[in-house]
Structure 1
Amino acid sequence: MEDTAILFDKGLRGAVEDIVVGGSPFFGDLQWRLASLPIK
């Protein structure tokens, strides 16, 4: 089950990176945290 969660997280992160910065190498941890904040 943990392997599935890790695969999902990697896929989600890749998709968010592509949307936010076009997959550039400048997508750091801070940007990832901001992009993955829950929006209410």
Structure 2
Amino acid sequence: LFVLGLGLAFVFVVTRSLWASIALHAAFNAIAVVVWAFD
């Protein structure tokens, strides 16, 4: 999770948009739910 946080912070610094980080966080959560559901 620490690495995810660093990645999201990097995306925020590069894009200067919180929405990009929010979208990536939502995508990560969606992938985690799909993996969990089919595990």
Report the TM-score when normalising by structure 1. 0.50
**Count of residue correspondences:** 22
CA distance in 2, matches of 1:5, 1:21: 25
Q: Which runs of 5+ in 1 are unaligned?
A: 23-40
Q: Which runs of 5+ in 2 are unaligned?
A: 1-17
Identity over the aligned pairs, expressed in percent?
Answer: 14
Q: Whose helix proportion is higher, 1 or 2? A: 2
Structure 1 runs of 4+ aligned residues shifted over 4 Å read none
RMSD: 0.9
In our comparison, the structure showing a higher alpha carbon Rg is 2
